[in-house]
């Protein structure tokens, strides 16, 4: 039956149209496409592959929730943070006996 619905061209199914896509689903697909830096078509294909257990590998997720912090520190604040972190990274052999 599925073969009757598909016209194989290079292993791909002919174009498919989705109607009445709920706004929340459309938004989620758009957000995924933007986050992954791919087209809407590619995002839908990836989502279908993931949902059907056919994904070759899960695409890496890139989060942007902390982007607003980039460049927020002054040079002095950055140096102070580096100094504090350097102190925190010191290994105290006595504590590991």
Please state, for a pLDDT cut of 90, what percent of the chain lies above it. Answer: 43
pLDDT at 2 over 60: no
pLDDT at position 19, please? 92
Whole-model pTM?
0.48
Q: If we measure between CA atoms, which residue out of 69, 68, 28, 36 comes closest to residue 55?
A: 36
Task: Report if residue 6 sits inside a domain.
Answer: no
**Cα separation of 51 and 58, whole Å?**
11
Task: Report if residue 14 sits inside a domain.
Answer: no
Mean pLDDT of 43-55: 90
pLDDT at position 76, please? 93
Contacts of residue 68, Cβ cutoff 8 Å, sequence gap at least 6: none
Query: What's the number of domains the chain is made of?
Result: 1
Contact 80, 72 (CB under 8 A): no
If phi > 0 it is left, if psi is from -120 to 50 it is alpha, else beta; for residue 83 that is alpha
pLDDT at position 10, please? 58
Task: Report if residue 5 sits inside a domain.
Answer: no
Mean pLDDT of 18-46: 94
pLDDT in tens, 52-77: 988 777 667 888 888 888 888 889 99
Task: Report if residue 8 sits inside a domain.
Answer: no
Structural domain of 75: 22-96
């Amino acid at each position: 039956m599925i073969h009757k619905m598909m016209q194989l061209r290079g292993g791909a199914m002919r174009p498919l149209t989705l109607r009445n896509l709920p706004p929340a689903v459309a938004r989620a697909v758009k957000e995924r496409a933007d986050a992954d830096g791919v087209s809407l078509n590619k995002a839908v294909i990836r989502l279908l592959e993931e949902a059907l257990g056919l994904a070759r590998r899960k695409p890496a997720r890139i989060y942007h929730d902390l982007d607003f912090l980039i460049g927020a520190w002054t040079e002095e604040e950055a140096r102070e943070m580096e100094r504090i972190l350097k102190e925190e990274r010191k290994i105290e052999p006595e504590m590991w006996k």
